[in-house]
A and B are shown apart, each in its own frame.
Chain A
């Protein structure tokens, strides 16, 4: 039987937030240009305003998005710190060099596929 720990850590929230394609698109949109309004982000997605809000809330709870008020607008910023921490905790630990070797291998195989 598999049991799950009832303790939800910051890492869990980040992984959960990243495990959704729409939320990853939202992060990519903020990576391209930071400090965007909901309306602005909404226009990059085929989704209702409510749906986008829900996804932004999950990203904010995980600390991946930080909001600031600017006059009457609420601006959304990408916070890269949790991703850095996941990187340090998980990628460094399992030897970055081997991972990058695998990424290079994947690129090479995909290149062959195309030709």
Chain B
């Protein structure tokens, strides 16, 4: 039986880069600042370690808090698997939702191409569930969501430039 209350979203992208380069782009602040929404991520890469994503100057100018996403590392197996909680602090309503759970899996093929599978468990967090798939207006409304984040990550790693 499928558990109807469990809500999971899956995102997959193929990137021509090493698993280590992709891992760094996800976990290192100097990389997270360079694609998608920007802002510096901070990871304590061990089980129980702290995670947060700091707002960029632009985000702060929109009135977002200093730490836009907080969470905890559940499993860190570089450069293959990262499991963490992910709790956006965009509004009081979102803070009231339970933390969601994010899993990154990076599969490297012998040809030097990696498949990144991101599984986002948004059970009991309907606001987050509605936000992260994105909409068609990533630049103007900041609503690109994970598809835009992953697409921009791919462009950065493959071309060295932003989309």
Q: Is the CB of B150 within 8 A of A88?
A: no
In the complex, which residues 74-109 of chain B have their Cβ closer than 8 Å to any Cβ of chain A? none
Q: Are A70 and B2 CB-contacts (below 8 A) given A35-B8, A80-B147?
A: yes
Residues of B within 8 A of A66 (CB): 10-12, 117
Which of A34, A79, A85, A87 has a CB less than 8 Å from the CB of B136? A87
Q: Is the CB of B151 within 8 A of A84?
A: yes
Residues of A within 8 A of B163 (CB): 88
Interface of A is mostly: mixed
Size range of the chain B interface in the assembly: 20 to 34
Q: Is the CB of B11 within 8 A of A80?
A: yes
Tally A residues with Cβ within 8 Å of B: 19
Which of A10, A73, A79, A83 has a CB less than 8 Å from the CB of B10? A79
Which of A34, A37, A75, A83 has a CB less than 8 Å from the CB of B147? A83
Residues of B within 8 A of A63 (CB): 12-14
Cα-based distance from A88 to B136 in the complex (angstroms)? 10
Nearest neighbor of B115 in chain A, beta-carbon distance: A63
Q: Is the CB of B9 within 8 A of A34?
A: yes
Residues of B within 8 A of A34 (CB): 7-10
Please give the distance in Å from A90's CB to the nearest CB on chain B.
13
Q: Is the CB of B2 within 8 A of A75?
A: yes
Residues of A whose CB lies within 8 Å of any CB of B are: 10, 34-35, 37, 63, 66, 68, 70, 73, 75, 77, 79-81, 83-85, 87-88
* A-B complex: 3 closest residue pairs judged by Cβ atoms: A84-B147, A77-B10, A66-B10
